[in-house]
Amino acid sequence: MVSIRSVPSTPSSLTPNDLPWIIKHNENRCTLCGRCTSVCPVGAIKLNYMRKRMPRIVLSSSERGSSYKTFVGIRQRTDPAHRCIGCGTCSMVCPNEAIAPAPNANDDRFRFHTNQKGEPAKRGGRRNMPGASLLDRMIFNRISMLTDPALDAGRHEFQLNTLLGRILPPEEYLRRKMSGEWIPTTREIFPFIIGSMSFGALSPNMWLGLLQGVAYCNEVLGIPVVMATGEGGCPPWVLKSPFLKYIILQIASGYFGWDEIIRAIPDMQCDPAAIEIKYGQGAKPGDGGLLMWFKVSKLIARLRGVPEGVDLPSPPVHQTLYSIEESVMKMIQSMSMAWNFKVPVYPKISGSTSAKAVLNNLVRNPYASGLLIDGVDGGTGAAYNVSMDAMGHPIASNVRECYLDLCAQGKQNEIPLFAAGGVGKNGNITQNGLALIMLGASGVHIGKYIMQAAAGCLGSERNRCNVCNIGLCPKGITSQNPKLYRRLDPDQVAERVAETFMSIRTEMKKILAPLGRSQSLPIGMSDAMGIEDKDVADKLKIQYVC
């Protein structure tokens, strides 16, 4: 038995220097106002009383002994459950710049202890790969220097939108038009789409703030932005609102919220933008949603049609689908039929070497409206670290191979490919998106970027914060606790969404104008792009530049 006066040591006993984030507290500046400990989302810090011994040792004097001085400081806990997550909210509330977390530059030993109680580490966020991404390294090098009509990004008008839905070849279109046959629906949308994040993964203020911003983009700015719901349904009032047309409803393996959607169909003022069938997610390929009980509030439970406070894992796969053919047949048909074949229906899959097989099935399916491929750098609100870090396929070559495959069949203009996964992970949203478009995507889905831009998500690929999965989001983005999500003002989120898309629109023009491109998106315009990496250039069939 370890005696009380001794210090116990366990295999998981760590020091602050073993943790991923080290709290730097400057006692000289601290006013002990209590705000940092009040706000810390995980209770990582506390007021610590420490005792200093000051020996009185004077060789020539007989008066000896020790005196003691008590001093205080804000110190971090070192047990794995209360480790600092580096969010820096303490720093945000400190009136004196006395406290801040610093990344551990040396030796993070905590990573070996994230499996307490045998449960492997889970987190929100995405693959922790800091530094420039492949997309960041692509440059647009075909500049119209007096060789093409000079375009002015500020003055000329640009057709920046893309089409979601199956586009028939002209002769087939005319034939059907004349014979009065069914023509697949297409939607003209902005090519940067807010990717599926569920009402549940996101807080009500975040989700509705995003939608409000999307509505603003459409109705005030004239930018036809759409957003996908994720798997968690949609509030009935939203389903019955005129804003439904800006929403891509997602159906996934958990089928959450679909009872409310089906109930609302007769009352819908307009059709949804599209239906997304989720088969996979780039952040956690082969794994389903992991909404845990602490995020299943009364509201979320009501929306999803489940009891309050239960775990809501979605199965990794759709339980009644056994093959691609069947998936494509059954799901796309059922979903198309719900809105009388007037709403585009497309599947979302994880980036994978098998993406081309899926695509080829879709090409043959008359009702398939596109394919969304979500690459390995995609984000999520909750996944096992191993799924997030080790599973998946980078988006660039995946979407490129699919596009070239369509080209080989002469179908590249018929079935749009959408790409996702790490778009804008270092802030280069437009550059990343247009790089993917030039590799062959008709548009891109953005998730984490919009959380960072529109709501101030603190998460990073250095594993800052990333606690979306436990409902403690300090910004209120991924929490279902009103005490946290009320920190987020939906109006401000909406404003930031508007600002973000206005800015993307301008940046797109700044890229397209020098390319001399204004009448249509440069989908597959790979001759305009280069990279200073021979292997990548060869693989993607773009120019090698140096």
Partner 1 sequence: MSEVITIKGLDENGRRINSKDYEEMVQQAFASSDKLILETYGQHNVGGRLKNNGKPVDVHVTGPCGQRLGCMGVPGTTITCHGPASDDVGYLNIGADIRVLGDATNGVCNAMADGRVMVRGSIGSRGLTMTKWNPEYQRPELWVLGSVGDTFAEFNCGGVAIVCGIEPKNPKNVLGYRPCVGMVGGWIFYRGETDTSYSRTNVMAILPDDEQWQWLLARLPGYLEAIDRMDVLETLSVRDDWKMLISIPPQERALMFSGPMPMHEFKTNIWNKGFGGGDPLRDLAPGLDRSPIGLIETGELRRRKPFWANREKAAPCAYYCPVHIPTVDRLRLLRDGKSREAYELVLDYTPFPASICGSICPNLCMQHCSRQVIDDSIDVAMLGRHSKDIPAPPVAPSLGKKVAIVGGGPAGMNAAWQLARAGVEAHIFEKDNKLGGKLAQVIPWERLPKAVWETEVDRFLNTENIHVHFGVNMTKDKFVELEKDYDAVVVAVGTHEPRRIPFPGHERVIPALDFLKQGKSDNPPQVGKQVVVIGAGNVGCDVACEAYRLGAQEVTLVDIQKPLAFGNEKKAAEALGAKFKWPVSTKEVTEEGLVDAADELIPAQTVIISIGDVPALNFLPEGVEVMTVGGAAWIKTDDACRTSNAKIFAIGDVERPGLATNALGSGKIAAEAILCDIKGEEWKPYAKDVVSLKNLTPAHYEPDSCPGHTDQDEADRCMSCGTCRDCHLCETICPTSAITRRKLEVGGYEYVSDDEKCIACGFCADTCPCGVWTLQPF
* Residues in touch with partner 1 (CB under 8 A): 3-5, 31-39, 43, 46-51, 65-66, 68, 70, 89, 92-93, 154-155, 204-205, 208, 212, 215-216, 219-221, 235-238, 240-243, 298-299, 302-303, 474, 481-492, 494-495, 498-499, 502
Enumerate residues 6+ apart whose C-beta is below 8 A from 497: 194, 209, 210, 212, 213, 214, 216, 217, 225, 450, 454
Nearer to partner 1 by Cβ, of 175 and 263: the residue is 263
Q: Shortest approach of partner 1 to residue 111 CB, angstroms?
A: 25
Q: Is the dihedral of CA 316, 318, 324, 327 positive or negative?
A: negative
Nearer to partner 1 by Cβ, of 65 and 131: the residue is 65
Distance, in Å, from the CA atom of 51 to the CA atom of 68, rounded to the nearest integer, reads 7
Q: Shortest approach of partner 1 to residue 225 CB, angstroms?
A: 13
Nearer to partner 1 by Cβ, of 93 and 129: the residue is 93
Q: Shortest approach of partner 1 to residue 356 CB, angstroms?
A: 41
Nearer to partner 1 by Cβ, of 44 and 423: the residue is 44
Nearer to partner 1 by Cβ, of 1 and 146: the residue is 1
CB 202 within 8 A of CB 229: no
Measured from the Cβ of residue 66, the count of other Cβ atoms closer than 10 Å reads 9
CB 417 within 8 A of CB 373: yes
Q: Shortest approach of partner 1 to residue 146 CB, angstroms?
A: 18
Measured from the Cβ of residue 184, the count of other Cβ atoms closer than 10 Å reads 21
CB 434 within 8 A of CB 192: no
C-alpha angle 330-331-337 in degrees, rounded to nearest 5: 90
Element (H, E) at 402: helix 395-409
Nearer to partner 1 by Cβ, of 272 and 530: the residue is 272
Nearer to partner 1 by Cβ, of 1 and 546: the residue is 1
Q: Quote the tokens at residue 32.
A: 């002990």
Distance, in Å, from the CA atom of 502 to the CA atom of 8, rounded to the nearest integer, reads 58
Nearer to partner 1 by Cβ, of 117 and 155: the residue is 155
Nearer to partner 1 by Cβ, of 27 and 325: the residue is 27
Q: Shortest approach of partner 1 to residue 517 CB, angstroms?
A: 19
Q: Shortest approach of partner 1 to residue 215 CB, angstroms?
A: 6
Nearer to partner 1 by Cβ, of 8 and 410: the residue is 8
Q: Shortest approach of partner 1 to residue 92 CB, angstroms?
A: 7
Q: Shortest approach of partner 1 to residue 434 CB, angstroms?
A: 22
Q: Shortest approach of partner 1 to residue 72 CB, angstroms?
A: 8
Specify the DSSP class assigned to residue 269: S
CB 378 within 8 A of CB 272: no
Q: Shortest approach of partner 1 to residue 235 CB, angstroms?
A: 5
CB under 8 Å, gap of 24 or more: what pairs does 136-139 form? 136/426, 136/428, 136/431, 136/432, 137/531, 137/532, 137/533, 137/536, 138/431, 138/435, 138/529, 138/530, 138/531, 138/542, 139/529, 139/530, 139/531, 139/532, 139/545
Q: Shortest approach of partner 1 to residue 295 CB, angstroms?
A: 15
Q: Quote the tokens at residue 43.
A: 């209770």
Q: Quote the tokens at residue 220.
A: 């005030």
Nearer to partner 1 by Cβ, of 76 and 361: the residue is 76
Q: Quote the tokens at residue 380.
A: 């999520």
Distance, in Å, from the CA atom of 532 to the CA atom of 536, rounded to the nearest integer, reads 8
Enumerate residues 6+ apart whose C-beta is below 8 A from 193: 225, 226, 227, 228, 248, 418, 443, 444, 445, 446
Q: Quote the tokens at residue 418.
A: 């959408």
The two beta strands, 45-56 and 122-125, are unpaired
CB 99 within 8 A of CB 26: yes
Nearer to partner 1 by Cβ, of 149 and 180: the residue is 149
Q: Shortest approach of partner 1 to residue 473 CB, angstroms?
A: 12
Element (H, E) at 530: strand 529-531
